[in-house]
Amino acid sequence: MTTSEATKTAVPAILTTPAESSKPQVHDQAIDDHVDDVETPPLSQRITNLLAILLPLAGLVVGMVYAWGWGLTWVELTLMLSMYMLTGLGVTVGFHRLFAHKSFSTGPVMTSILGVLGSMSVEGSIHQWVSMHRCHHRHSDHEDDPHSPHGHGSGVKGVLKGFYYAHMGWMFRRKTGVIEQYVPDLRRSKLVNTLSALFPLWVLLSLTLPAAIGGLVTMSWTGALLGFIWGGLIRIAVVHHVTWSVNSICHLWGTRPFRTKDESRNNPIVGVLAFGEGWHNNHHAFPASARHGLRWWEFDMSYIVIWTLARLGLVWNVRLPPKERMVSKRR
Ligand SMILES: [Zn+2]
Ligand SMILES: [Zn+2]
């Protein structure tokens, strides 16, 4: 079998049901060959990543200084919160639970909406995001994990170094293009390929839409600029750091109610801020589950959205772990 044939037939282990995931996984040589090839991204990619991180932070500084001097209005706050909710859920419900784990099914309209909203969080295209995430699950907290906070030295210095690496340092050390071989299933969808290829357009929309709304609501250029800063730059900075906290904080601090082969943790603060993604030990125990907050008090905004969409008939085949599996995996 050639490499391309192998990648076409490869089914990432992360797509299996919770019950199946306990079976020995078929060794996928095609994928592993590419993962072992990990290397530093080219300078242009590192500069792009740096700008994508620094520009939103620069917006945060400018926005704070402006708010200190001239105050804030409900327009900026509403734009910031609504764009945070929409693009954050685009990542959690769309990129993560739909595209990466296929924890529910939906039609082309919802696929497009979730794909565009997730892309507007400016965390890479669908293909790039899903590749990296599936690689994380396959090698979680082991040598080939793209963003594990572990294995960076001992003591406080080692923990801090690991935290920085898992949070954002890995983006300058890992060549994202190489592991796109993780998405053979997504590559078979013309719609997802198009949505993924149009990533630069969604980034542009992510910045211009709040500016246009801010300008139209206030009928002023200042309103457009503040919409760009609060609904665009600052919102992107917050979505970035909350998402990255799942990689860093949720592999360092929190509880581990389920037995998993990694250091994943349930962290209630990230659980709330990241719309349910902070119940990360639950997620590593049952990766295909559409619900991450498995106990009634584990607030999971993304699952509430999926549950509501299912009631409306907009999504279906919502996957949940069987009760007996949850009991047997509990510590
Ligand atoms: Zn993880
Ligand atoms: Zn996941």
pLDDT tens digits along 196-225: 999 999 999 999 999 999 999 999 999 999
Q: Which ligand is nearest to the CA of 251?
A: 1
d(CA 156, CA 18): 35
Residue 15 C-alpha to ligand 2 middle, in angstroms?
A: 10
Residue 237 C-alpha to ligand 1 middle, in angstroms?
A: 21
Q: Which ligand is nearest to the CA of 270?
A: 1
Residue 198 C-alpha to ligand 2 middle, in angstroms?
A: 23
Q: List the one residue out of 210, 176, 174 whose CA is nearest residue 81.
A: 210
Position with higher pLDDT, 99 vs 53: 99
pLDDT on residue 4 = 39
d(CA 162, CA 141): 11
Query: Would you state the structure tokens that stand for residue 169, as one six-digit string?
Result: 């340092």
d(CA 137, CA 287): 8
Question: Where residue 104 falls among pLDDT bands split at 50, 70, 90?
Answer: very high
Query: Would you state the structure tokens that stand for residue 4, as one six-digit string?
Result: 């391309």
Query: Would you state the structure tokens that stand for residue 91, as one six-digit string?
Result: 């990542």
Residue 308 C-alpha to ligand 1 middle, in angstroms?
A: 26
Q: Which ligand is nearest to the CA of 97?
A: 2
Average of pLDDT values for 302-327? 97
Residue 148 C-alpha to ligand 1 middle, in angstroms?
A: 8
Residue 219 C-alpha to ligand 2 middle, in angstroms?
A: 42
Q: Which ligand is nearest to the CA of 140?
A: 1
Q: Which ligand is nearest to the CA of 290?
A: 2
| pLDDT reading at 68 higher than 50 | yes
Instruction: Count CB-CB contacts under 10 A for residue 44.
Output: 8
Instruction: Count CB-CB contacts under 10 A for residue 197.
Output: 12
Q: CB of 265 within 8 A of CB of 251? A: yes
Residue 96 C-alpha to ligand 2 middle, in angstroms?
A: 6
Backbone φ/ψ region at 124: left (φ over 0), alpha (ψ -120 to 50), beta? left
Residue 95 C-alpha to ligand 2 middle, in angstroms?
A: 9
Residue 278 C-alpha to ligand 1 middle, in angstroms?
A: 10
Between the alpha carbon of residue 79 and those of residues 59, 210, 213, 272, the distances in Å are 15, 7, 8, 20
Residue 136 C-alpha to ligand 2 middle, in angstroms?
A: 8
Q: Which ligand is nearest to the CA of 260?
A: 1
87-125 burial string, b = 16+ CB within 10 Å, else e?
A: bbbbbbbbbbbbbbbbbbebeeebbbbbbbbbbbbbbbb
Question: Where residue 22 falls among pLDDT bands split at 50, 70, 90?
Answer: very low
Instruction: Count CB-CB contacts under 10 A for residue 150.
Output: 17
Question: Where residue 1 falls among pLDDT bands split at 50, 70, 90?
Answer: very low
| pLDDT reading at 11 higher than 60 | no
Between the alpha carbon of residue 203 and those of residues 16, 42, 168, 196, 321, the distances in Å are 32, 21, 19, 12, 35
Residue 249 C-alpha to ligand 1 middle, in angstroms?
A: 10
Residue 2 C-alpha to ligand 1 middle, in angstroms?
A: 31
d(CA 252, CA 53): 22
pLDDT on residue 38 = 52
